[in-house]
Amino acid sequence: MENSSYFILARVFHVVGVVLWIGGVAFVTTVLLASLKQSPNGETRLKLFEQLEGKFAFQARITTLITGLSGFYMLEAMNAWGRYQHLQFWWLHLMTFVWFIFTLVLFVLEPLFLRRRFHQRAMLDSDKAFALIHRMHRVLLTLSLLSVVGAVAGAHGFRFFQEPVG
């Protein structure tokens, strides 16, 4: 099944989705937020962040959706659900966890209350609000990059953990 045209196309969409999604998270974390924290004007900082992050949020929603659907298709096509029962596929667990967290934030928490709550906190104390959001983005970026490293290595046969035989 891994050589079928549909599977190959799903893998292409999956990889492109991950590149755009995690690459965008890397930009927001290491460039946008890091730069905005240096801005002395809290209102200008907030306005610019909301304008730019809003555009990226749309891209992130689309790419997480594409990544999730293509990942689900590949797991189903390979009948690989049993990999969740093995420690050697830890990266699959982490990848799924990262995807779940981003999906929850982008589709549920941010629209319901996170966007409004961040705006209110930034109006009260911009430095603290931006320090918190930057710290959260660094944690999510670190987890994302760990899952990418594990997935690439694992997909090519490298095992960080070997389960005992027998």
Domain ranges in the chain are: 5-155
3-class SS of residue 118: helix
Calculate Rg over the CA atoms of the chain: 18
Q: Tell me, what's the pLDDT at 96?
A: 96
Mean pLDDT for all residues in the chain: 92
137 has a pLDDT exceeding 70: yes
**How crowded is residue 40: how many other Cβ atoms within 10 Å of its Cβ?**
8
**Confidence at residue 103, expressed as pLDDT on a 0 to 100 scale:** 97
